[in-house]
């Protein structure tokens, strides 16, 4: 039996804001956008694949409070690359906010960044 993590739900204030950032600025691929009436099933993935994001529009006050807080202030999402310098430069040019300069760690090159919703990510090139 094979198992893999297929997707992670990411709470956003509205679908278009999520699409504008992840597809428009970061160049993620739009995998699905299915209108379900009250909500949409939107999945995105970085070019090259991997675990997908499911954009989940915040509908309740508790959900709105969770925007940007799903990782409790920690880095909880990891965008891996095979060309750190290229992707770091492209993300800076797109206006992505990095919290720090790139640094070398025993596992690879890394820099922490935030999406416009407050989620903390690592841009990571493994050794």
pTM of structure? 0.93
CB of 123 within 8 A of CB of 91? yes
7 lies in the same domain as 34: yes
Distances (CA, A) of 26 to 62, 89, 106, 121: 28, 12, 26, 13
52 lies in the same domain as 93: no
Q: Is 61 helix (H, G, I), strand (E, B) or coil?
A: helix
2 lies in the same domain as 59: yes
Residue where one domain finishes, among candidates 67, 87, 113: 67
Average pLDDT value over all residues in the chain: 97
Mean pLDDT of 102-110: 98
Domain membership of residue 56 as a residue range: 1-67
**What pLDDT does residue 1 have?**
86
Half-sphere exposure of 47 (CA within 13 A, CB side): 9
Mean pLDDT of 57-64: 97
Half-sphere exposure of 110 (CA within 13 A, CB side): 15
For the cut 90, the answer to whether the pLDDT of residue 62 exceeds it is: yes
> pLDDT tens-digit profile of 16-53?
999 999 999 999 999 999 999 999 999 999 999 889 99
Residue where one domain finishes, among candidates 15, 43, 67: 67
Neighbours of 91 (CB within 10 A): 21
Q: How many domains in the chain?
A: 2
25 lies in the same domain as 84: no
DSSP-assigned letter for residue 21:
I
Q: Is 55 helix (H, G, I), strand (E, B) or coil?
A: strand
* 52-57 and 7-12 beta bridge pairing: parallel
> pLDDT tens-digit profile of 72-86?
999 999 999 999 999
Provide the percentage of residues in the chain whose pLDDT is more than 70.
100
Residue where one domain finishes, among candidates 33, 67, 101: 67
**What pLDDT does residue 27 have?**
96
29 lies in the same domain as 55: yes
State the CATH number of the domain containing residue 101. Answer: 3.10.180.10
97 lies in the same domain as 46: no
**What pLDDT does residue 5 have?**
93
Residue whose C-alpha is closest to residue 68's, from 59, 78, 58, 60:
58
Rounded Cα–Cα distance for residues 25 and 37 (Å):
27
């Amino acid at each position: 039996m094979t198992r893999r993590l297929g997707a992670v739900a990411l709470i956003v204030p509205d679908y278009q804001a999520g699409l504008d950032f992840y597809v428009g600025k970061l160049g993620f691929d739009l995998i699905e956008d299915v209108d379900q009436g009250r909500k949409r099933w939107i999945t995105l993935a970085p070019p090259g694949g991997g675990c997908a994001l499911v954009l989940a529009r915040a509908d309740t006050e508790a959900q709105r409070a969770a925007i940007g807080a799903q990782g409790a202030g920690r880095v909880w999402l990891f965008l891996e690359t095979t060309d750190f310098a290229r992707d770091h430069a492209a993300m800076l040019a797109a206006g992505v906010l990095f919290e720090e300069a790139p640094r070398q760690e025993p596992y690879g090159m890394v820099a922490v960044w935030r999406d416009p919703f407050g989620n903390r990510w690592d841009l990571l090139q493994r050794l």
